[in-house]
Amino acid sequence: MKRYLLVGAAIGLSLAALSCQAPTPPPSESIGADTSVAGPTAPDKVKRGGILRGTWSGTLAHLDLHQVGTLGTWNAGNLMYNGLIEWDAFDKTQQRIVPGLAKSWEASPDGSRFTFRLQDGVKFHDGASLTGDDVVFTLKRIADPPRGTSSARKDQFQMVDKIESPDPQTVVVTTKFPSANLVNLLADGWHVIVPKHVVERDANALKQGGIGTGPYTFKELVPNQKFVAARNPAYFRQGHPYLEGIELYRFGEETTAIAALVTNQLDMVNPAGQGISGQGARDVKARNAAMVVESNPRLAIDIWRYNVTRPPLDDLRVRQAMNLAINREEYVKFLQDSEGPVGTVVFPGSVWDLPKAEQEKLIGYEPNYDQRLQRAKQLLAEAGLAGGFTVTLMATTTNFEDNAQALEAMLGRINIKIKRDPLQQEEARQREAESLFDVYAGGYGIATIDPVGVVGDHFVCGSGRNTSKFCDPELDRLYQEQLKVLDQKERAKVVHEMIKRAINGASMNIINWNNEYHARWPYVRDFVVTPSRYTLASKLEYVWLDK
Amino acid sequence: MHRYLTKRLLLSIPTIFGLTVLIFFTLRVLPGDVALTILGEDTQVDHQRLLEIRRELGLDQPIYVQYGQWMWSILRLDPGRSFGSDYPIAKRLAAAIPITFNLAVYALILTLIVAIPLGAVSAVHQDSWVDYASRAAALVGLSTPGFWVGIMVIMFLAFYVGWMPQLQLVSFFEDPWKNFTQLFWPALVIAIAQTAVITRMTRSTLLEVLREDYVRTARAKGLRERVVIVRHALKNAMLPVITLIGLEFAGLMNGAVITETVFAVPGLGSTLIQGINAKDFPLIQATVLFIGLIVVLVNLLVDLSYAWLDPRIKYR
Amino acid sequence: MSRPASTWWGPAGFARRQPVGAVALLILLGILLASLASPVLAPYDPFANDLSNKWAPPTAAHPMGTDQYGRDTYSRLLLGARYSLFLSFSATFLGVTIGAVIGLITAYSRGWFDILVLRIVDVKMAMPGLVFTLLIVAGLGPSLSGVIIALAVGMLARSIRVIRAAALATREMVYVDAARAIGCPDWRIMALHILPACIAPYIILISISIGGAIVAEASLGYLGLGVQPPTPTWGQILNRAQQTFRQNPWVAIFPGLAISLTVFAFNLLGDAIRDHLDPKLRGR
């Protein structure tokens, strides 16, 4: 409870502070074309019509966005719905929230009462009007699901006390304690508004189809093959979307998807989910130099982490020794599909990032690898483990072998052996959530560029995703402190100390922040890749085909 | 004859029943938790909800009860919905079946137009170079793993021809030629293994028949060799070959499972593999059962046609 | 009437009568020896990474190229031969032997056990083999033992039928009746007359089943349902081959060639053994 208060306050304060000074977004690199998008093209210059054909990635359970967290569900499902508020499609700094189904919103001075005024004349795809009741029903469904419905993100709404709709155009959310986090939470793309009259009758109505307010309506679903959506002519944002329809096709492997792209059976790769690998992107460019290929930094990290309660990993020296032996640049080479800057717990290139000289002093980031190995062996000897030991590596089968190969190679240099425990995706996540591992390797999506994004979730003692069970009172103190500092420069200083503490504590270790490659034909315009996937950009309202 | 028919039909029933038992109970040894699949990748797991899901899917009931429920749903011709995604299985199978049927027909045609003449020529010119060549080729066809041949074909087509599988399969009734070109390569890959088996069988059966007395009689009567072979020997050799085609139909299904996965053809085979990867019990059961039923049906038809084609053969 | 099993045509006889089979046997022995000698023969450690050399095409240094971690394909194939051959031999031996034992028992006991087993065999044969194997592997989980069990179970049905038929045929022989008439105990009849008659079919079954087992294991590996990495069976090496064939087609080509060659040799050998031990079948 206290954690949400602090996170909320932090976000609220930093938003306030940052709105005065726009930070530089981290750079996107493109291979060959200038893909910087300042903002949407003026509506009178846009060509309307056409069907966008793309790939569909990630597993799909079904299309009900509240009940699952699968990427495949997001890809397709989010096209058919809106949230109350959304992260701006064109803001690569991930700071700006724009109106969604709520045309305006305000918080009470004490920060525990939030009033949202809904847009006028919004209709669901079946013609029914959107009212406050639908919003109330939806939020209750997420926060406190009825029997027979699961809510994948229920935990995040713990601080919500009451949700009411005093009149059809207004919704008021009251929280148990002052929370500036709520606004950000509701901007999260998963919290879409669903029609009460449909879902009340049948809790599973949205699984195989979709009735929302979104820019596209459901047309066809063939599991594991394709998803088709058509333009919603009655969309509340007049004039949008520009496209006539969207077709998403599932591909077993990237090579076929790329072949389809270059033969123009597709217009682009995934428009709202994962991109393609660097190798694939280079392949596309090689086969057709006119293709637009770009790499974008995303709020996603690849990590490995230790369970610090399990011996010998409970000894800080042992963990630091392991981190010294693990060379991140080498690690990245093992990860077949991962590219991106090696970084720490904040978004590389952001205002919070450590200067290079400072970063190179962190344990595991020093440039001289031989010296590091020496030091690692020294530390192990001090801990009495010069002869080495065995740890079990747990990870999902999709990327298991890459991680195993990397860790075996590098930890082998200080006599540490790896025992393998690959699991299917869901099982692996479950075990990780319960901290049933020695070493876990995987990846996470991060909610925000703000420093609380990684540290708050993964390092603060007792926090939800701190499955390493790491507890450092000094880190917690620094965390609290930086939450209260209003001046950005001053805050950055505290953040830097916090980063050092987090990294040298050797619990969760970030290999790199993922860059994602996207490839498309040049006639696909106004397509933006925001650092987080779950923004308005994924709804493809602004995308148009210049042909 | 009628008694034979009825007897065979009745015998199929326990076979089918046995099939359902075999499929169902083999699957229930599956480790791993389907309920977890439903909750997804990006979020933490809600234990309460996990238990609820298990209860809803009936996974907490005793096994024989689950079996009974499944059998009842099969008898009603409603295999239910996929675990997790709730997609109606009947709909999924209905989309997949015609595609596999389409593929199987092409594969069978390709097989027969090569295997039977090749086997016949091989037998007639036994121990000649044609015979050795065809036997060697058949053995090679048997020895190369189907999926590998498929990968090699795809690689060849991708590198040298720039071909790739189409996104949308065109139905035969819409555009027969396009349909054929889309399914030709996977059908060919399946046909390679099948041709090997049937060529060998044709050859050996024909060899036996050629040694029979009635063939010697026909020759003694002065009939031309071609007439002897086609009218007498081949026709009689066809009977075991037809039986073998029926038995090999199972092999055709095996080939389809692998080849559909390699070429990403959305038929029964890839549906089965997707079901296995997703631990979708109802889908796996329904698909395997359906495949088994087809094989039983085809074998039944073959048995019946065999009895009809050769009235000499008496069945007790 | 089948030939009494006491005539054992020795190796020299085999080589003379089945030259092709003899050559196949030599090739197979060569492969087997190479796989056993893999630690000595392999130019590199099959598990050693070399990231600077990912996806290398065949060169002097790496005659068959390298994979996504820079591991030498040739070394991995040599080691993989050991695993694949071990897997197939075990599965075949297990499946055919257990099937033979069951076949003998049912042939001898006749009665309800016989009928039950026959029904089960019929049901199993109604299902395409690979589909059944997939079911079992999906149930047991992808592992070395899982694959062996799955393949072995798949071979039970044919083995039961063939051995049962051979045992039954012998049972009807006059001399068995005669033996019983003079008071010879059942177990002696089994051991002295029926068992030896089953040896030839048993050997034939084994030799014709191994090839299929190798292909089946490879198929499972390709689908990702076989032995898991880093154990390099031939099937496992092919697992990600299709996803990455644009980067490096060679990783897909060589293991497949190895499998095809080995299975081809086994099939030749199996045919030769069958012709040798049961000339009535010659010409098939």
Among residues A86, A305, C135, the alpha carbon closest in space to that of B19 is found at C135
- Phi and psi at residue B169, in whole multiples of 5°? -80, 125
Residue B34 has what pLDDT? 53
Q: Which residue has the higher pLDDT, B314 or A131?
A: A131
Considering only alpha carbons, which residue of chain B is nearest residue C129?
B254
pLDDT classification of A24: cutoffs 50, 70, 90: very low
Q: In this complex, which of C134, C138, C241 lies closest to B151 when CB atoms are compared?
A: C241
Hey, is A234 helix, strand or coil? coil
Among residues C195, C214, C196, the alpha carbon closest in space to that of C269 is found at C214
Residue A127 has what pLDDT? 93
Indicate if the pLDDT at residue A138 is higher than 90: yes
For A35-63, write each residue's pLDDT tens digit.
Answer: 455 678 888 888 999 999 999 877 666 88
Domain membership flag for residue A32? no
Hey, is B177 helix, strand or coil? helix
Domain membership flag for residue A36? no
Q: Which residue has the higher pLDDT, B306 or A91?
A: A91
Angle subtended by helix axes A316-325 and A400-411, to nearest 10: 100
A215/A320 same-domain check: no
Q: Which of residues 5-64 of B touch C (CB under 8 A)?
A: 14-15, 18-19, 22-23, 26-32
Residue C167 has what pLDDT? 84
> Could you tell me how many CB contacts below 8 A there are between chain B and chain C?
150
Strands annotated E in A70-132: 85-87, 97-99, 102-107, 113-118
Indicate if the pLDDT at residue A424 is higher than 80: no
pLDDT classification of A305: cutoffs 50, 70, 90: very high
Query: Residue A389 sits in which domain range?
Result: 298-515
Q: What is the rounded radius of gyration, in angstroms, for the C-alpha atoms of chain B? A: 24
A261/A313 same-domain check: no
Among residues B238, B156, B167, the alpha carbon closest in space to that of B189 is found at B156
Name the amino acid, one letter, at B155. Answer: M
Chain A partners of C49 at a C-beta cutoff of 8 Å? 334, 405, 409
Among residues A323, A341, A367, the alpha carbon closest in space to that of A502 is found at A323
What's the total number of domains in chain A? 2
Residues in chain A whose Cβ is within 8 Å of chain C: 253-255, 279, 283, 330, 333-334, 336, 400-401, 404-405, 409, 420, 422
**Segment A79-93 mean pLDDT:** 89
Q: Is A282 exposed, middle or buried (0-12, 13-18, 19+ CB in 10 A)?
A: middle
Helix (H) or strand (E) holding A332: helix A328-334
A403/A506 same-domain check: yes
Q: Which residue has the higher pLDDT, A267 or A67?
A: A267
Burial readout A47-80 (b: 16 or more C-beta within 10 A, e: otherwise): eeebebbbbbbbbbbbbbbbbbbbbbbbbbbbbb
Peptide bond into C230 cis (omega under 30): yes
- The CB density around residue A189, as the number of other CB atoms within 10 Å, is 24
Residue B309 has what pLDDT? 63
CA atoms within 13 A on the CB side of A133: 9
For B145-165, write each residue's pLDDT tens digit.
Answer: 999 999 898 888 877 777 776
Q: What is the CATH number of the domain that holds A156?
A: 3.40.190.10
- Residue A218 Rama label (left phi>0; alpha psi -120 to 50; beta): beta
Q: Is B58 exposed, middle or buried (0-12, 13-18, 19+ CB in 10 A)?
A: exposed
Cβ contacts of residue B204 below 8 Å, gap of 6+? B123, C283, C284
Strand partners, A417: A390
A380/A480 same-domain check: yes
Strands A439-445 and A389-396: parallel
Percent pLDDT > 90 in chain A is 45
Residue B313 has what pLDDT? 52
As a whole number of angstroms, the distance between CA A364 and CA C180 comes to 83
- Phi and psi at residue C94, in whole multiples of 5°? -60, -55
Ranking A219-233, A393-407, A443-457 by mean pLDDT, the lowest is A443-457
- The CB density around residue B31, as the number of other CB atoms within 10 Å, is 11
pLDDT mean across residues, chain B: 79
Q: Are A424 and A471 in contact (CB under 8 A)?
A: no
As a whole number of angstroms, the distance between CA C16 and CA A214 comes to 80
Residue A44 has what pLDDT? 86
Angle subtended by helix axes C129-140 and B2-27, to nearest 10: 20
Q: Which site among A68, A266, A431, A465 would you substitute to test the B interface, given the most B Cβ atoms closer than 10 Å to its Cβ? A: A68
> Could you tell me how many CB contacts below 8 A there are between chain A and chain B?
108
Indicate if the pLDDT at residue A327 is higher than 90: yes
**Segment C6-14 mean pLDDT:** 59
Q: Which of residues 194-233 of C touch B (CB under 8 A)?
A: 211, 215, 218-219, 222-225
pLDDT classification of B38: cutoffs 50, 70, 90: very low
DSSP state of A339: B
For C194-215, write each residue's pLDDT tens digit.
Answer: 787 888 889 888 988 999 999 9
Structure tokens at B189: 């890959």
A385/A466 same-domain check: yes
Distances (CA, A) of A390 to A314, A415, C231: 14, 9, 19
Judged by a CB distance cut-off of 8 A, whether residue A126 touches chain B is no
pLDDT mean across residues, chain A: 85
For C247-278, write each residue's pLDDT tens digit.
Answer: 778 888 999 999 999 999 999 888 888 888 76
Residue A410 has what pLDDT? 93
pLDDT classification of A17: cutoffs 50, 70, 90: very low
pLDDT classification of B191: cutoffs 50, 70, 90: very high
A148/A80 same-domain check: yes
Ranking A161-165, B10-14, B195-199, C69-73 by mean pLDDT, the lowest is B10-14
Structure tokens at B252: 């055709």
Residue A406 has what pLDDT? 92
- The CB density around residue A377, as the number of other CB atoms within 10 Å, is 17
Residue B72 has what pLDDT? 84
Strand partners, A98: A86
Among residues B102, B154, B108, B37, the alpha carbon closest in space to that of B268 is found at B102
Q: Which residue has the higher pLDDT, B271 or B126?
A: B271
pLDDT classification of A193: cutoffs 50, 70, 90: very high
A98/A238 same-domain check: yes
Residue A542 has what pLDDT? 92
Length of chain C: 284
As a whole number of angstroms, the distance between CA A507 and CA A309 comes to 10
Domain membership flag for residue A39? no
As a whole number of angstroms, the distance between CA A221 and CA A209 comes to 7
Percent pLDDT > 90 in chain C is 17
Residue C40 has what pLDDT? 84
3-state secondary structure chain C: CCCCCCCCCCHHHHHHHCHHHHHHHHHHHHHHHHHHCHHHHCCCCCCCCCHHHCCCCCCCCCCCCECCCCCEHHHHHHHHHHHHHHHHHHHHHHHHHHHHHHHHHHHHHCHHHHHHHHHHHHHHHCCCHHHHHHHHHHHHCCCHHHHHHHHHHHHHHHHHHHHHHHHHHHHCCHHHHHHHHCCCCHHHHHHHHHHHHHHHHHHHHHHHHHHHHHHHHHHHHHHCCCCCCCCCCHHHHCCCCCCCCCCCCHHHHHHHHHHHHHHHHHHHHHHHHHHHHCHHHCCC
A492/A541 same-domain check: no
C neighbour chains, 3+ CB pairs within 8 Å: A, B
Domain membership flag for residue A33? no
Helix (H) or strand (E) holding A247: strand A245-250
In chain B, which ranges are continuous DSSP H helix? 2-27, 34-39, 47-56, 63-75, 89-124, 129-143, 146-156, 176-210, 213-220, 225-227, 235-263, 268-277, 281-309
Indicate if the pLDDT at residue B167 is higher than 50: yes
**Segment B192-216 mean pLDDT:** 81
Strands annotated E in A448-541: 508-520, 524-525
pLDDT mean across residues, chain C: 82
Structure tokens at C28: 């197979």
Cβ separation of A71 and B36 shorter than 8 Å? no
Structure tokens at B40: 């997804």
A83/A101 same-domain check: yes
Task: Give the angle B151-B152-B158 at the CA atoms, nearest 5°.
Answer: 85
Cβ separation of B143 and C267 shorter than 8 Å? yes
Ranking A120-124, A366-370, A452-456 by mean pLDDT, the lowest is A452-456
Q: Which site among B21, B124, B147, B280 would you substitute to test the C interface, given the most C Cβ atoms closer than 10 Å to its Cβ? A: B147
Indicate if the pLDDT at residue A262 is higher than 80: yes
Chain C partners of A336 at a C-beta cutoff of 8 Å? 68
A220/A163 same-domain check: yes
Cβ contacts of residue B38 below 8 Å, gap of 6+? A61, A67, A68, A150, B53, B83, B84
Q: Are B139 and C264 in contact (CB under 8 A)?
A: yes
Angle subtended by helix axes C111-125 and B2-27, to nearest 10: 80
Distances (CA, A) of B91 to A174, A203, A477, B272: 45, 21, 58, 14
Ranking A505-514, B273-282, C153-162 by mean pLDDT, the lowest is B273-282
Strands A389-396 and A416-423: parallel
pLDDT classification of A199: cutoffs 50, 70, 90: very high
Q: What is the CATH number of the domain that holds A371?
A: 3.10.105.10
**Segment A338-348 mean pLDDT:** 88
A210/A323 same-domain check: no
Name the amino acid, one letter, at B244. Answer: L
- The CB density around residue B64, as the number of other CB atoms within 10 Å, is 10
**Segment C7-13 mean pLDDT:** 60
Q: Which residue has the higher pLDDT, A346 or C175?
A: A346
As a whole number of angstroms, the distance between CA B249 and CA B297 comes to 10
Indicate if the pLDDT at residue A19 is higher than 70: no
In A194-269, which ranges are continuous DSSP H helix? 196-199, 254-262
pLDDT classification of B107: cutoffs 50, 70, 90: very high
DSSP state of A46: P
DSSP state of B231: I
Among residues A281, A374, A358, A360, the alpha carbon closest in space to that of A328 is found at A360
Residue C214 has what pLDDT? 93
- The CB density around residue C33, as the number of other CB atoms within 10 Å, is 11
A511/A525 same-domain check: no
Complex ipTM value:
0.83
Residue B32 has what pLDDT? 47
DSSP state of B229: I
For C110-142, write each residue's pLDDT tens digit.
Answer: 788 888 888 888 888 878 888 888 888 766 767
Peptide bond into A23 cis (omega under 30): no
Hey, is A62 helix, strand or coil? coil
